[in-house]
Amino acid sequence: MMLQEAIAQLTACAIPEKAADMAAYHKADRPYLGTAPSEIDALCKVWRVDLTLDARLALCADLWGSNIHEARIAAAKLLTQARIKPDDAGAWDLICAWLPQLDAWAIADAVCSAAQKRIVADPSRLEKVEAWTKSEVMWERRAALVATLPFALLNHPKPDEAEARERVLHWAASYLTDKDWFIQKAVAGWLRGLSKHDPDRTQAFLAEYGDLMKTWARKEAGQLLP
């Protein structure tokens, strides 16, 4: 599938009158079509079935390169898949290449969802993720937590998963001097997710580091604790 065909299909589902509202909402300077997320999901399901992996990777790169909001969302959604075979064919490399370019929450969340699948498939990728925590790009630093959220949501983590969980908690602690709202929100969200599966570890984190957190972030992190 060529990029022009994919954009034409995204445009055919769009409500042009919504494009301006989306631009104002997302606050990132790029073209918007006005296509609903559900329509993007539906198209991606078809494309994922119809395209070979090589063709899908090529389309993802082109969609991202177009800088159109809906196209970038679609590029990420096309790579949001638990199993990609072969897993070293380039999906992870594309995701990592996109991270420094993140500049808005919706696209960032879509890319992080794709990253979650690839990290769970190969936890050794946490070595790469750790470098994100040092990035000058706030969205890339945030991605280190959002993309590792699955490790917070395990009831009975295996030893390597428990090690990964502790590693991410170390990153979260290092973020607490960063007062950016999105960073604090990511820390609070990770801890809130963890609290449903390991409340004792969450309470221990808050006891040690809670004083460094914004009041609202600490409250959100402990919202589900008993």
Q: What is the CA radius of gyration of the chain?
A: 18
* For residue 1, pLDDT beyond 80: no
Judgement on whether residues 82 and 10 belong to the same structural domain of the protein: yes
Return the pLDDT at 175: 97
Q: Cα separation of 226 and 220, whole Å?
A: 13
DSSP string, 177-196: T---HHHHHHHHHHHHHHHT
**Which of these, 6, 123, 81, lies nearest to 94 by C-alpha position?**
81
DSSP 8-class letter at 199: H
Count of the separate structural domains present in the chain: 2
Q: Is residue 210 part of a domain?
A: yes
* For residue 84, pLDDT beyond 80: yes
Q: Cα separation of 163 and 165, whole Å?
A: 5
Is the CA virtual torsion 205, 176, 153, 130 positive or negative? Answer: negative
H or E segment to which residue 48 belongs: helix 37-50
Residue type, 167: R
* For residue 153, pLDDT beyond 80: yes
Side-chain-side CA neighbours of residue 8 (13 Å): 5
Judgement on whether residues 78 and 166 belong to the same structural domain of the protein: no
Judgement on whether residues 95 and 179 belong to the same structural domain of the protein: no
Q: Is residue 138 part of a domain?
A: no
DSSP string, 116-145: HHHHHH-GGGHHHHHHHTT-SSHHHHHHHH
**Which of these, 184, 32, 26, lies nearest to 103 by C-alpha position?**
26
Last residue of a domain, one of 88, 122, 156: 122
Last residue of a domain, one of 88, 107, 122: 122
Q: Is residue 111 part of a domain?
A: yes
Judgement on whether residues 161 and 226 belong to the same structural domain of the protein: yes
Q: Cα separation of 44 and 6, whole Å?
A: 10
Q: Is residue 139 part of a domain?
A: no
Return the pLDDT at 130: 98
* For residue 89, pLDDT beyond 90: no
Going by C-beta distance under 8 Å and a sequence separation of 6 or more, which residues neighbour residue 72?
30, 63, 64, 66, 107, 110
Which of 81-90, 149-158, 204-213 is the least confident region? 81-90
pLDDT per residue as tens digits for the range 98-121: 999 999 999 999 999 999 999 999
* For residue 11, pLDDT beyond 80: yes
Predicted TM-score (pTM) of the model is: 0.95
Q: Cα separation of 39 and 11, whole Å?
A: 10
What rounded mean pLDDT belongs to the chain? 96
Last residue of a domain, one of 106, 122, 138: 122
Place of tokens 């959100």: 220
Q: Is residue 162 part of a domain?
A: yes
Judgement on whether residues 187 and 105 belong to the same structural domain of the protein: no
**Which of these, 102, 103, 99, lies nearest to 28 by C-alpha position?**
103
Judgement on whether residues 60 and 166 belong to the same structural domain of the protein: no
Q: Is residue 130 part of a domain?
A: no
Judgement on whether residues 153 and 114 belong to the same structural domain of the protein: no
Judgement on whether residues 85 and 29 belong to the same structural domain of the protein: yes
Q: Cα separation of 95 and 118, whole Å?
A: 9
Judgement on whether residues 161 and 66 belong to the same structural domain of the protein: no
Q: Is residue 129 part of a domain?
A: no
Q: Is residue 128 part of a domain?
A: no
pLDDT per residue as tens digits for the range 173-185: 999 999 899 999 9
- Report the pLDDT averaged over residues 205-209: 98
Judgement on whether residues 92 and 172 belong to the same structural domain of the protein: no
pLDDT per residue as tens digits for the range 20-73: 999 999 999 999 999 999 999 999 999 999 999 999 999 999 999 999 999 999
Q: Cα separation of 209 and 2, whole Å?
A: 50
Return the pLDDT at 226: 87
Judgement on whether residues 154 and 116 belong to the same structural domain of the protein: no
Judgement on whether residues 59 and 97 belong to the same structural domain of the protein: yes
Instruction: Determine the structural domain holding residue 29 and report its residue range.
Output: 1-122
Return the pLDDT at 19: 96
